[in-house]
Amino acid sequence: MLERRAGVLRLYDWLVAQANLRGFHGAFSRIELPDIDAELSLEELVVGLCQPHTPADGRLFKLVLRLLQSPDIDPARLAFLARRERAGHVLRWLLDRVPPEENTPSVTACSEAIGAPRGYRPPVYVYDARRLTRRPFRAGEAAWTRRRGSS
């Protein structure tokens, strides 16, 4: 259904552009849309960006987290749509990585509503969840910026 609304555009590009129009600005969009699709809900945006065939991109996950932090999101509707569209596994994985300082009441409510999808096993993935926070990057924190032999 969302693909029909996106028309000739790639779905995730259209979803990112819709989120940016709403002021969430979590990821760069190559396209500019003239106006907001008023029928598209925040829950549909989240589920569309967490579909199994959507590219796994840290910027998209950051955008999804910003959407989940919105007090306007309906956790029960989000859980229903995630089950229906099979986006629950990706959403559960993302919610498990939200650092405590980014965990708002709406994120907690969404996490409780999603629960653990049937057959859920977290993927083996090494990622520092602190990178999801909204603080500026500092050069000394990244391990890849250090020279070999120094610690």
| 93-149: pLDDT as tens digits | 889 888 888 899 999 999 999 988 777 776 665 666 666 665 555 656 555 455 555
Query: Looking at the domain assignment, is residue 78 inside a domain?
Result: yes
Residue 139 within any structural domain of the chain: no
Query: For residue 78, what pLDDT band results from cuts at 50, 70 and 90?
Result: very high
pTM (predicted TM-score): 0.73
Query: Would you say residue 108 lies in a domain?
Result: yes
Full residue range of the structural domain in which residue 54 is found: 2-123
In this prediction, residue 12 has a pLDDT band, given cuts at 50, 70 and 90, of confident
In this structure, what DSSP letter does residue 148 have?
T
| CA dihedral of residues 151, 96, 64, 49 (deg, nearest 10) | 110
| pLDDT at 33 > cutoff 60 | yes
Domain count, the chain: 1
What pLDDT is stored for residue 112 in this prediction?
Answer: 94
Say if 128 falls within a structural domain.
no
| Residue 137: inside a domain | no
Q: Is residue 86 part of a domain?
A: yes
Domain assignment present for residue 142? The answer is: no
